Structure 1
Amino acid sequence: MEINVTVKQLGKKHPILSEQKLEIGFNDSNISLENLLKLIVQQQVEVFNAKSFDLEGEDNTKIPLDNYLDILTDTGKAGFGNIYNQKKADLQKAQENAIQAFEDGMFAVFYNDEQLEDLKQIIDLSLQHTFAFIRLTFLAGSYW
């Protein structure tokens, strides 16, 4: 099944990091949020593990354009598409991390502008609304 996903972060000039369609291995119209998160992580791990590792020093095809470099530095991570760690991602650990991050409030999930707060909540995928994942950032500092 194909789902639409938007990844955002709050408080930035360019809040939309990416909009994409993901193909997940699920054919039913109703799914729990926990199962959906696991399927999305599975799809992303498969994409990551399928990438080839670049052992050369510089790859000019992956250098971002000048206007995109500002967006990368605003997000706090300027990456150029190279993978330097040659370890494959562990699917089970990645799924556990995603569930734990959701429970800890590291990101919020919205479906048709409605926040999904419970991992057991059932989502109707037949409506084909866009999912929005918003990365939350904690403020640091003190009052005195």
Structure 2
Amino acid sequence: MEIKVTVKQLGRKHPVLSEQKLEIRYDDSRISLEDLLKLIVQQQVEAFNAQSFELEDTDYTKIPSENYLNILTDTGKAGFGSIYNEKKANLQKAQENATQAFEDGMFAVFYNDGQLEHLSETIDLGLEHTFTFIRLTFLAGSYW
């Protein structure tokens, strides 16, 4: 089944990632939020583990292309596609981390315009609305 996902970060005018379509292995039209998160994590882990790790004998300068520079200035993060950690992601651990992060309020999930607040909530995927994931950041500091 194909779902539409947008990832945003609060305080940004534009989403960090634009809307994208993810293919998850699920046939029913109704699913719990917990199961959906696990399926999305499974798809992402499989995509990450499928990437090839190329070890380079020499270090050379990598210059980003012109259209990539705009993305770098918007997000404030420079990445050149190199993967330095050769370990494969652990699916079970990643799924546990995702559900724990949701329970701890590290990110919020919206379906259409409604916020999903509990892992047991049932979602109707037949409506084909867009999921929005918002990464929440906490303010640092103390009060006196």
Same fold (TM over 0.5): yes
Partner of residue 101, structure 1: 101
CA contact (8 A) 1:7 1:18 kept: yes
Matches within 5 A, 1:40-119: 40-56=40-56, 57-58=59-60, 60=62, 63=64, 65-73=68-76, 77-119=77-119
**Structure 1 Cα separation of the partners of residues 13 and 117 of structure 2:** 27
**Structure 2 Cα separation of the partners of residues 54 and 18 of structure 1:** 28
User: Cα RMSD (Å) of the superposition?
Assistant: 1.7
**Structure 2 Cα separation of the partners of residues 35 and 95 of structure 1:** 10
Cα deviation, residue 35, structure 1 = 0.2
- Normalised to the residue count of structure 1, the TM-score between the two structures is 0.90
Cα deviation, residue 53, structure 1 = 1.1
CA contact (8 A) 2:34 2:119 kept: yes
Counterpart secondary structure, 1:38: helix
Cα deviation, residue 72, structure 1 = 3.0
Q: Give ranges in structure 1 of 5+ residues lacking alignment.
A: none
Q: Which moved more, 1:97-106 or 1:9-18?
A: 9-18
Residues 48-88 of structure 1, C-alpha deviation per residue, up to 9 Å, x if partnerless? Answer: 0000113223584x835222221231xxx422222110000
Partner of residue 7, structure 1: 7
Counterpart secondary structure, 1:41: helix
Q: Identity of counterpart residues, as a percentage?
A: 74
The one-letter code matched in structure 2 to 1:68 is: I
**Quick check: 1:134 aligned with 2:134?**
yes
Q: Give ranges in structure 2 of 5+ residues lacking alignment.
A: none
The one-letter code matched in structure 1 to 2:103 is: E
CA contact (8 A) 1:5 1:133 kept: yes
Q: 1:58 to 1:97 in 2, by over 3 A?
A: farther
**Structure 2 Cα separation of the partners of residues 13 and 128 of structure 1:** 25
